[in-house]
A and B are shown apart, each in its own frame.
Chain A
Amino acid sequence: MKSLDPRVNRLPEISNEVKPKAPLDQLGTFEVFVQAKENKPFQHEGIVHASDIELAFVLAKETFTRRFTCVALFVTDTRDVFVSPLTESNINAYDVLPDATENLKQNEESFLIFHLPKRGKQHVLVGNVMASSPLEAMHQAKNTLQDGKPVFNVWAIRENAIRMTSEEELILWQSLPNKKYRDAADYKAGDKLTRFLEKNKS
């Protein structure tokens, strides 16, 4: 290929035949949650596609936290997120949960609970509960994690299905504030412009 782009000129020749890709080299889906600042809760930010939870973590780091600030992030397989009904108007999602089977207090484990406080916004982490099923976890959360305001959607995720940032990895975001070239505030040319305009006036 002859191009203005030297990078393109270096590309290997590949046949021009259009063939549909073998279905699917589409990888799995992982949900990404980010804590932007020390005193803020983890918030759902989006997804990455990856082969496993470890690679999802590695890829989520640059996909979602290369700009602004970040304290920590975690990822989980989308299939491990249990979702309540989504409500509207003033209906509280907790009020329309299906009934939970009797709590047997058996094999309890920790679930992280997320609320959607406003339609159109992101889910935020509100805390964790001990339960033996995701539905039971939501019923627990209904009693312990509500602050009176309606919640439009609840997510429950088993804590052990999460790839959390480890203690030693907290350093990964350490140099983020130094990367000024990603910050709009670093592009000041006002003085140059003013001098230019003044010179042209005279």
Chain B
Amino acid sequence: MENIALKELLYKIADDQLILGHRNSEWTGMGPLLEEDIAFSSMAQDKVGQSYAIYQMLHQLGEQEPDTVAFMRNATQFHNCQLVELPNGEYDFSLIRHLLFDTAEYIRFDYLSTSSYQPLADLAGKIKGELQYHTLHANTLIKKLGTATEESINRLQHSLQVALPYALGIFEPSPYENILIEHKIFKGEVALQQAWQEKIEFIISKTQLTLTDWKVLQPVYGGRVGRHTEHLQPLLDEMSEVFKIDPTAEW
């Protein structure tokens, strides 16, 4: 039972990071200014790299090879939240998603740094600097653009409203929540969401953006149990286009 709970946790973290890393990499070479293009690409690489590390953990736990897991599953077999699969839209949406997701990721791994599952605790220690940079980057840009021109504020505000219900989907209740807490693997989605909301409120309070009352927001759930938007399957088809020419070949 404990093993199933652990795998569920690992799959959702890894799938989130892979899909968002993939999405963010679409900006490489097309960013709003060269330096930002470079920074955004690094963070996309970090995400793909982190997902790779977790798929390797899953492989140790008896799941298939990371490449097979990532490149051969269908959308219904993915456990990422719907937030990460949405198309990039304009840069405002990509930045807001970056803020909302990476803030949660930072806290999640902060919790995991004391996980009883040692490989996760080790990984959390290893990537702390990466996650710290991601939040530094997100906070700096959101603070800057969220207080700049009418256009930048309006754009971010609109994207924030679109993204928030999906962002709450990050914390979709898990059937294994209590087992994870009991075995000191992870503090759970409820605690995470609470800490995340406080952090997001703090960051947004430094800008001219406003947050919708959490109580009236309808979280978009489903991703964690394989229910996805129409956008995920085409993303996966594209990602595996070359790999599937011959999945047994070495590329």
Give Cα A168–Cα B141 distance, bound, in whole angstroms.
20
- How distant is A13 from chain B, measured CB to nearest CB, in Å? 14
A62 touches B38 (CB 8 A): yes
Stretch at the interface among A34-42, A97-105, A169-177, A194-202: A169-177
Given contacts A62-B42, A171-B132, A175-B126, contact A52 B35 (CB under 8 A): no
Any A CB within 8 A of the CB of B98: no
- How distant is A77 from chain B, measured CB to nearest CB, in Å? 15
Interface residues on A, range: 20 to 34
Q: Which of B26, B35, B38, B140 has the most CB of A within 10 A?
A: B35
Q: Residue-by-residue, is B101-143 near A (CB-CB < 8 Å gives 1, otherwise 0)?
A: 0000000000000000000000000111110110011001100
Any A CB within 8 A of the CB of B206: no
B140: contacting residue among A55, A169, A171, A173, CB under 8 A = A55
- How distant is B44 from chain A, measured CB to nearest CB, in Å? 11
B36 touches A59 (CB 8 A): yes
Give Cα A178–Cα B45 distance, bound, in whole angstroms.
12
- How distant is A135 from chain B, measured CB to nearest CB, in Å? 32
Any B CB within 8 A of the CB of A66: yes
B136 touches A58 (CB 8 A): yes
Q: Does more than half of chain A's interface fall in helix, strand or loop, or is it mixed? A: helix
Which residues of B from 15 to 58 have beta carbons under 8 Å from A?
26, 30, 33-36, 38-39, 41-42, 45, 49
A174 touches B128 (CB 8 A): yes
A171 touches B35 (CB 8 A): no
B87 touches A10 (CB 8 A): yes
Note all chain A residues with C-beta closer than 8 A to B127: 175
Give Cα A58–Cα B95 distance, bound, in whole angstroms.
15
Q: Which residue of B lies closest to A8 (CB)?
A: B30
Note all chain B residues with C-beta closer than 8 A to A10: 26, 87
B49 touches A179 (CB 8 A): yes
Which residues of A from 29 to 71 have beta carbons under 8 Å from B?
48-52, 54-55, 58-63, 66
Any A CB within 8 A of the CB of B144: yes
Any A CB within 8 A of the CB of B238: yes
Q: Which residue of A lies closest to B48 (CB)?
A: A181
A62 touches B39 (CB 8 A): yes
B35 touches A63 (CB 8 A): yes
Note all chain B residues with C-beta closer than 8 A to A174: 126, 128-129
Note all chain B residues with C-beta closer than 8 A to A1: none
Note all chain A residues with C-beta closer than 8 A to B126: 174-175, 178
Give Cα A49–Cα B33 distance, bound, in whole angstroms.
9
A171 touches B144 (CB 8 A): no
Any B CB within 8 A of the CB of A19: no
A59: contacting residue among B30, B35, B132, CB under 8 A = B35
A6 touches B238 (CB 8 A): yes
Note all chain B residues with C-beta closer than 8 A to A55: 140-141, 144
Any B CB within 8 A of the CB of A27: yes
Note all chain A residues with C-beta closer than 8 A to B41: 62
Q: Which of A51, A59, A60 has the most CB of B within 10 A?
A: A59
Q: Which of B26, B38, B128 has the most CB of A within 10 A?
A: B38
A7 touches B38 (CB 8 A): no
Q: Residue-by-residue, is A86-110 near B (CB-CB < 8 Å gives 1, otherwise 0)?
A: 0000000000000000000000000
Note all chain B residues with C-beta closer than 8 A to A50: 35
Give Cα A48–Cα B35 distance, bound, in whole angstroms.
7
A58 touches B132 (CB 8 A): no
- How distant is B56 from chain A, measured CB to nearest CB, in Å? 13
B144 touches A51 (CB 8 A): yes
Note all chain B residues with C-beta closer than 8 A to A178: 126
- How distant is B207 from chain A, measured CB to nearest CB, in Å? 15
The chain B residues found within 8 Å of chain A, CB to CB, are 26, 30, 33-36, 38-39, 41-42, 45, 49, 87, 126-130, 132-133, 136-137, 140-141, 144, 238
A to B CB contacts below 8 Å, 8 in the list: A11-B30, A27-B33, A49-B33, A49-B35, A50-B35, A61-B39, A175-B126, A175-B127
If A7-B26, A59-B38 are given as contacts, then 5 extra A-B residue pairs at C-beta distance below 8 Å, sorted by A number, are A49-B35, A62-B39, A172-B133, A174-B128, A175-B130
Report, nearest first, the 9 A-B pairs whose CB atoms are least far apart.
Answer: A59-B35, A174-B129, A171-B129, A62-B39, A62-B42, A172-B129, A48-B35, A62-B38, A58-B140
